[in-house]
Structure 1
């Protein structure tokens, strides 16, 4: 069976197409584009392999740079095509997640892990608002009995263990993430060998689809932080 996934070279074109469809349907509406999906690597605009997680430009990040500046983007046979000059009246705000740390190792510090996990594509784009996560959820109060003796890994007020950073980027690159919002915490077992995400260290949110499932569920990481940032736009 053929894969339904888009090729990495097309991520920018897909994002541009989605942007265009929304603007065609309601051209005068004030909006913020929330992008809570990332990729670890892609292909650079010059055709060379690039590890976007290390901060190098990619087709995807280049598309967001152009769209944020008020340009139109299409995918041509030779790559991305920028149809017009930057238009200040057509500038767009993209709120992009920095990407999540997905695994942790016994004996390490959570801040060290975040520094070793660079922000993912397209969060390295200069002209987007890149969102990471911090946490105020630093207590096991209300945790399930299965987590007796477990401890929150990140102290209250620190970077969330889920959040990536730009420590691995070139020094010439902007510091990412630009802002951090609540993204939940991780707990570690009494012997320090296991990590888990108990519900009391996550954020409460609505569930979907309505009417067929429980009304509420939990969320966490830079996905949750990005949703909060997009909701904070000036009205």
Structure 2
């Protein structure tokens, strides 16, 4: 297993910039979007971005709701992919700081210890590290995203640049794939059907996906 770079372990004079830069980038993104959307839709997009950051909602929930409420599909996908990038950047630059956060830090340490034991018993998994991390971030797994993706990448011995690249690519693939699929479904709904018909269609699709995912997860746990 190769060695990682420092992952920002050493304190330096730019530590304040490393903490604030991801938030400043998000602020700049919202300012740019302000000129593209009416005020009501801009506030809606901000609320959805906040909901994406706060568990348990993921892109598989946020994107359909945003498109159904009238936001452009590409903007919703781009916004969530940008949040994945910003989250990955924060984790890459401030991982030691995150480890000092109460509750979150001890959980991350336990997660890494358990994951390291799992990977040591299956060394072949590390050979798929790059594509595997992209798939992990892009697919709507429980807990997938920039936070857990950064932890997994660190366990695999990846550098900050490699992890951030995987998170960015995975976020773009996952967000745009879901958004394109939902936009296609929306186009199939008759224009005069009304919002309630759209809600029923999305609920049926979501229920089918949830049942499929739960069945897959139960089979996976039984095999494990």
TM-score, normalised to structure 1, is 0.22
**Larger relative strand fraction:** 1
- The higher relative CO (CA closer than 8 Å, separation ≥ 6) is in 2
**Larger relative helix fraction:** 2
TM-score, normalised to structure 2, is 0.23
